[in-house]
């Protein structure tokens, strides 16, 4: 992966655009690294995690990797404060890959209290979450509730608890999550 910093310019040059796209393609490099680590450690499972934009990228990796890893490799994705990534067809596809029967991967996305990032982009734009939400409640015990289905409207789940960004709290995006852990902003 190219780790050198690169100055971005607003040029209409086609070659500049293609160079930027090429430099930021990482899926093949991630796959190569995962394959190397699986072999080195004689492993058959992969855990992927991320927060915010990192959770969205982790979700995409949880779809990409099972298509390219050896048969029998299990992929588990846990994302924190994940925005919606695709439309309902994408969410259905993710659910199909990650179903309990013969699952090759699982997805859990943990949303904290009134975090606005978990409800954007809006459903009115056609975006939807896959199944697997766990919503941390705004109660004295910060209890965790599993929310079945896509964008569950229950008041115990993100969509029901935070119907729009005006009723959200951006500070909930950074935590606390597990045992008082706070994340940085993306």
Q: How far apart are CA 144 and CA 21, in angstroms?
A: 40
- Which position among 11, 23, 62, 115 bears the catalytic label? 115
- Which position among 11, 23, 44, 52 bears the catalytic label? 52
Please calculate the CA angle 176-157-139 and round it to the nearest 5 degrees: 50
Q: How far apart are CA 164 and CA 144, in angstroms?
A: 21
Q: How far apart are CA 167 and CA 96, in angstroms?
A: 32
115 is catalytic: yes
Element (H, E) at 169: none
| Greatest pairwise CA separation for the chain in angstroms | 56
158 is catalytic: no
Distances in Å between the Cα of 69 and the Cα atoms of 11, 39, 172, 174 are 38, 11, 35, 32
Token pair in block for residue 46:
């992969």
Q: Are 97 and 63 in contact (CB under 8 A)?
A: yes
Element (H, E) at 47: strand 45-51
Catalytic residues: 52, 115
């Amino acid at each position: 992966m190219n780790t050198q910093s690169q100055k971005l310019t607003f040029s209409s040059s086609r070659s500049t655009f293609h160079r930027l796209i090429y430099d930021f393609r990482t899926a093949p490099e991630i796959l190569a690294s995962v394959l190397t680590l699986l072999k080195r450690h004689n492993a058959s499972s992969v855990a992927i995690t991320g927060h915010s934009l990192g959770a969205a990228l982790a979700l995409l990796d949880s779809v990409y990797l099972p298509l390219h890893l050896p048969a029998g490799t299990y992929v588990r994705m846990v994302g924190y404060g994940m925005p919606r990534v695709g439309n309902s067809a994408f969410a259905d596809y993710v659910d199909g890959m990650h179903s309990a029967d013969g699952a090759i991967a699982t997805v859990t996305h943990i949303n904290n209290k009134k975090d606005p990032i978990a409800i954007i982009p809006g459903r009115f734009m056609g975006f939807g979450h896959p199944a697997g939400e766990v919503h941390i409640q705004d109660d004295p015990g910060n209890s965790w509730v599993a929310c079945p289905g896509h964008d569950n409207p229950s008041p115990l789940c993100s969509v029901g608890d935070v119907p729009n960004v005006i009723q959200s709290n951006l500070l909930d995006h950074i935590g606390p999550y597990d045992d008082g852990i706070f994340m940085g902003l993306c």
